[in-house]
C-alpha cells in the first residue's frame, strides 16, 4: 500500500475500500442533513412571521399604539401642569428677591440685648429637643452644639430624647449628658419604656415633663445637626415680636456635600427645595412644610394644632399642615443656616426617600377631606395646600418623572407611529434643570444633566413609595432611621487592616445588587439599540446614558461603599 492511502477490511468479502471515500460520503450526508434542518427552520420561521406579523400589526394598530398615545397625552398634560407650577414657584422666589420680601423686612425683628436685669423679659425660656436612636457616630455633635448655644444658661433646657435600644450606646449618651451637666448646662436625659410613635412619640413625650411648662418655644435638632451659637438669638426675635408666627425654619447646609457624587446630587435637590419652594412659599403664602429639624416652634402652636401625631412617617409635615389650618404663619429664614449630614450610602438614601415619598402620600390620603372642610382658613389657602403642596409636588411630581422618562419615552422610541414633541420630551426638561441649578446651586451647574438622570432613577423608588402611601400598603408606616456615618470612615481607616472572609465580601456584594434597576437598565439599553438601527428619532442619545445610570444603581455603586472589615 502506498504512502497516504488508507484502507479498511470489510468482513463480508474481504474487500478493501479507501477510507477517504467513506469520509466523503459521511460529510455529504452531514451537509445534506444540515441543509434540510436549515431549510426547515427558515421555512418555519417564515411561516411564523407570516402568521404572527399580521396579527401583531392588528394588535398594535388597534390597542398598543392608541394606549401608548393616550399615555403620552396624559404625560404631556402633567408636564404642562408641572411647568406651570415651576413658573409659579420661580415667580414667587423672584418676587421675594426683587421686592426684598425677606423675613426681616416682612416681620418685626429686633436683636436680643444682653441686659442681666431684664434677662427674664428679653430672653424667654427655650426648650431644645434632640431625638436620638442608636446614632453612635453623631450624638456628640448635636449635644455639643446645643449646649454651646449663645443663650443665658438659666433660660434654656437641652432635652436629649434617647430611644436607643443598644445599651452600650445609651450608656455613652447618658455620660455625655452628665459631662455637660457638670459644666453648668441645664440638660435632661430622657428615655421611654417603649418606642411607640418613633420620633413623633419621643417629641410628644418630651413635652409632657413639668419643667417644659416654663418654656415658650422649642427648637428641634436631629442627632447630626449643628446649630451655630447665635441660632437662638437670630431666630427667636421673629417669634417674640410677631405673635402670629408659629414656626421659624432655618436652612440646612451639609458638611459632607463634597463627599461623593450621591451627596452632590442630594445637595442640588435640597437646595432647590429651600431656595425656591420654601422661600417662595414663606414669602407669599406664609406656609411650607416643617423639615423636621433646624426649626423653632411656638409651643402653643403645637398644642393648638393637636400636638405631635404618629399616624404617618412624616410627623413634621403632619404638624405643619394642621398648624397651617389653624391660621399660624411660618417663616423660612435662609440666612440662618444649620449644618447637617447627608446620607452617603445608597441604601440609607433609598430608605430616606421611601419615607419622604410614602409619608406625604399617606398624609394626603388621610387629610384631604379635613383640609377641604376646614373653615378657619381661606379657600385660597386650602387650594394651595391641596393642589400646589400635595397634588402637584408630592403626587404628580413623584409619579410623572419615572412614568414618562423611563416607560413612555422608551416605548415611543419603538413605535414610529407615536410622535413626541421634542421640546416636551427632552429640551424643556434640561433647560429647567439648568435654570434650577443656576438659581439654587450655582457651583454644580456642570452636574445639571447627571442630576436629571439620577433623579429619574430615584423617581422609581419614590413612585413605588407613593403608591404604598396612597393605598396604605404594608410598608406605609415603616420607619427606618437614616444611617449617619459621622467620622466612621475616618475612624475605620485608622484601624489595623484585616483580611475579610470571602463569603462575607460576597454577601456584601449581593446585598448591593438591585435587580429591578438592572432590568430597567437592560430595557432602556435595548430600546436605545433599536433606536439606532430602526428608530426615526435620536432618543438613544438619552436612553444610553440613562441605562448606564440605572446599571450603576443596580450594582449599588452610587455613594460611599463601606469597607467590609
Which pLDDT value is given to residue 389? 92
DSSP state of 437: H
Which pLDDT value is given to residue 563? 54
CA distance 256 to 308: 30
Four-CA torsion 545, 549, 551, 555, nearest 10 degrees: 160
**Taking 80 as the threshold, does the pLDDT of residue 178 lie above it?**
yes
Neighbours of 445 (CB within 10 A): 11
Q: Mind giving me the DSSP string for 238-296? A: HHHH-TTEEEEEEEEEETTTTSSHHHHHHHHHHHHIIIIIIHHIIIIIS-----SSSEE
pLDDT-above-90 percentage for the chain = 54
Kind and range of the H or E run holding 157? strand 156-162
The confidence band for 152, taking pLDDT boundaries of 50, 70 and 90, is: very high
Which pLDDT value is given to residue 112? 81
Q: C-alpha grid cell for residue 504?
A: 462575607
**Taking 90 as the threshold, does the pLDDT of residue 434 lie above it?**
no
> What number is the average pLDDT over the span 36-49?
50
Which pLDDT value is given to residue 421? 73
> What number is the average pLDDT over the span 47-70?
76
The confidence band for 301, taking pLDDT boundaries of 50, 70 and 90, is: very high
Of 209-223, 233-247, 464-478, where does mean pLDDT reach its minimum? 464-478
Which pLDDT value is given to residue 265? 95
The confidence band for 10, taking pLDDT boundaries of 50, 70 and 90, is: very low
Can you give the pTM of this predicted structure?
Answer: 0.84
3-state percent helix, strand, coil for the chain, nearest multiple of 5: 60, 10, 30
CA distance 354 to 481: 11
pLDDT tens digits for range 275-285: 888 887 887 77
pLDDT tens digits for range 367-421: 999 999 999 999 999 999 999 999 999 999 888 989 999 999 899 888 888 877 7
The confidence band for 116, taking pLDDT boundaries of 50, 70 and 90, is: low
Residues 496, 536 contacting (CB under 8 angstroms): no
Place of cell 413623633: 200
Which residues, other chains included, contact 565 with Cβ-Cβ below 8 Å and sequence gap of 6+? 497, 498, 499, 500
pLDDT tens digits for range 497-514: 434 444 455 556 677 789
**Taking 70 as the threshold, does the pLDDT of residue 342 lie above it?**
yes
Look at 509 and 16; give whichever has higher pLDDT: 509
> What number is the average pLDDT over the span 147-153?
94
**Taking 60 as the threshold, does the pLDDT of residue 18 lie above it?**
no
Q: By C-alpha distance, which of 207, 167, 214 is closest to 190?
A: 207
Residues 428, 83 contacting (CB under 8 angstroms): yes
> What number is the average pLDDT over the span 220-249?
95
**Taking 70 as the threshold, does the pLDDT of residue 46 lie above it?**
no
CA distances from 324 to 88, 100, 317, 383 (A): 21, 24, 10, 13
Look at 193 and 171; give whichever has higher pLDDT: 171
Class of domain 123-344: alpha beta
Place of cell 455613652: 172
Which pLDDT value is given to residue 171? 95
**Taking 80 as the threshold, does the pLDDT of residue 361 lie above it?**
yes
CA distance 520 to 56: 24
**Taking 60 as the threshold, does the pLDDT of residue 494 lie above it?**
no
Q: By C-alpha distance, which of 140, 139, 136, 340 is closest to 231?
A: 340
The confidence band for 101, taking pLDDT boundaries of 50, 70 and 90, is: low
Burial class (CB in 10 A: 0-12, 13-18, 19+), 354: buried
> What number is the average pLDDT over the span 457-483?
86
The confidence band for 37, taking pLDDT boundaries of 50, 70 and 90, is: very low
CA distances from 475 to 348, 478, 481, 504 (A): 16, 5, 14, 28
Which pLDDT value is given to residue 6? 43
Neighbours of 116 (CB within 10 A): 7
DSSP state of 131: E
What is the average pLDDT score of the chain? 84
Report for 74-78, 155-159, 278-282: range of highest mean pLDDT: 155-159
> What number is the average pLDDT over the span 197-204?
94
Which pLDDT value is given to residue 174? 95
Domain range annotation of the chain:
67-100+345-483+508-564, 123-344
Which pLDDT value is given to residue 423? 64
Q: C-alpha grid cell for residue 324?
A: 397651617
Active-site residue numbers? 163, 316
Q: What are phi and psi of 30, to 5 degrees?
A: -65, -45
Q: What angle do CA 184, 336, 344 make, to 5 degrees?
A: 90
Look at 505 and 47; give whichever has higher pLDDT: 47
Which pLDDT value is given to residue 502? 45
Residues 232, 216 contacting (CB under 8 angstroms): no
Look at 120 and 256; give whichever has higher pLDDT: 256
CA distances from 129 to 154, 172, 220 (A): 16, 18, 5
Residues 511, 526 contacting (CB under 8 angstroms): no
Amino acid at each position: 500500500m502506498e504512502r497516504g492511502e488508507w484502507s479498511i477490511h470489510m468482513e463480508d468479502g474481504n474487500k478493501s475500500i479507501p477510507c477517504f471515500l467513506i469520509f466523503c460520503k459521511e460529510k455529504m450526508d452531514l451537509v445534506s442533513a444540515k441543509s434540510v434542518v436549515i431549510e426547515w427552520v427558515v421555512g418555519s420561521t417564515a411561516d411564523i412571521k407570516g402568521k404572527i406579523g399580521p396579527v401583531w400589526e392588528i394588535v398594535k394598530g388597534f390597542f398598543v399604539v392608541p394606549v401608548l398615545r393616550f399615555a403620552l397625552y396624559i404625560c404631556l398634560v402633567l408636564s404642562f401642569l408641572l411647568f406651570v407650577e415651576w413658573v409659579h414657584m420661580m415667580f414667587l422666589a423672584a418676587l421675594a428677591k426683587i421686592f426684598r420680601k425677606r423675613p426681616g423686612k416682612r416681620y418685626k425683628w429686633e436683636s436680643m440685648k444682653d441686659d442681666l436685669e431684664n434677662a427674664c423679659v428679653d430672653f424667654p425660656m427655650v426648650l431644645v429637643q434632640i431625638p436620638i436612636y442608636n446614632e453612635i457616630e453623631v450624638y456628640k455633635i448635636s449635644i455639643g452644639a446645643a449646649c454651646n448655644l449663645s443663650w443665658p444658661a438659666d433660660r434654656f433646657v437641652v432635652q436629649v430624647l434617647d430611644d436607643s435600644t443598644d445599651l452600650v450606646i445609651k450608656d455613652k449618651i447618658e455620660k455625655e449628658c452628665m459631662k455637660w451637666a457638670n459644666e453648668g448646662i441645664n440638660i435632661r436625659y430622657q428615655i421611654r419604656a417603649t418606642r411607640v410613635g418613633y420620633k413623633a412619640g419621643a417629641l410628644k413625650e418630651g413635652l409632657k415633663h413639668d419643667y417644659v411648662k416654663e418654656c415658650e418655644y422649642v427648637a428641634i435638632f436631629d442627632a447630626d445637626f449643628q446649630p451655630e451659637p447665635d441660632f437662638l438669638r437670630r431666630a427667636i426675635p421673629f417669634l417674640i415680636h410677631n405673635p402670629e408666627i408659629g414656626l421659624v425654619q432655618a436652612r440646612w447646609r451639609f458638611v459632607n456635600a463634597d463627599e461623593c457624587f450621591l451627596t452632590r446630587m442630594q445637595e442640588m435637590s435640597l437646595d432647590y427645595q429651600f431656595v425656591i419652594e420654601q422661600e417662595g412659599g414663606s414669602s407669599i403664602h406664609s406656609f411650607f412644610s416643617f423639615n423636621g429639624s433646624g426649626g423653632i416652634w411656638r409651643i402653643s402652636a403645637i398644642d393648638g394644632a393637636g400636638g405631635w401625631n404618629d399616624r404617618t412617617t412624616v410627623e413634621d409635615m403632619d404638624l405643619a399642615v394642621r398648624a397651617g389650618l389653624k391660621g399660624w404663619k411660618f417663616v423660612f429664614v435662609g440666612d440662618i443656616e444649620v449644618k447637617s449630614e447627608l446620607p452617603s450610602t445608597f441604601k440609607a438614601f433609598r430608605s430616606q426617600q421611601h419615607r419622604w415619598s410614602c409619608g406625604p402620600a399617606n398624609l394626603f390620603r388621610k387629610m384631604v377631606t379635613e383640609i377641604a372642610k376646614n373653615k378657619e382658613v381661606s379657600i385660597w389657602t386650602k387650594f394651595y395646600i391641596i393642589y400646589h403642596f400635595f397634588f402637584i409636588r408630592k403626587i404628580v411630581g413623584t409619579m410623572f418623572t419615572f412614568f414618562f422618562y423611563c416607560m413612555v419615552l422608551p416605548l415611543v422610541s419603538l413605535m414610529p407611529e407615536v410622535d413626541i414633541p421634542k421640546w416636551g420630551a427632552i429640551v424643556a426638561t434640561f433647560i429647567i434643570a439648568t435654570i434650577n441649578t443656576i438659581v439654587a446651586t450655582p457651583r454644580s451647574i456642570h452636574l445639571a444633566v447627571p442630576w436629571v438622570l439620577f433623579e429619574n432613577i430615584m423617581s422609581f423608588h419614590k413612585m413605588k413609595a407613593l403608591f404604598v402611601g396612597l393605598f396604605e400598603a404594608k410598608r406605609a408606616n415603616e420607619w427606618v432611621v437614616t444611617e449617619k456615618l459621622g467620622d466612621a470612615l475616618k475612624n475605620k481607616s485608622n484601624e489595623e487592616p484585616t483580611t475579610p472572609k470571602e463569603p462575607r465580601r460576597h454577601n456584601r456584594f449581593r446585598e448591593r445588587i438591585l435587580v429591578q434597576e438592572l432590568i430597567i437598565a437592560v430595557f432602556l439599553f435595548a430600546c436605545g439599540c433599536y433606536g439606532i438601527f430602526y428608530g426615526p428619532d435620536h432618543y438613544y442619545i438619552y436612553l444610553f446614558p440613562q441605562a448606564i445610570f440605572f446599571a450603576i444603581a443596580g450594582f449599588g455603586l452610587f455613594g460611599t461603599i463601606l469597607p467590609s472589615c
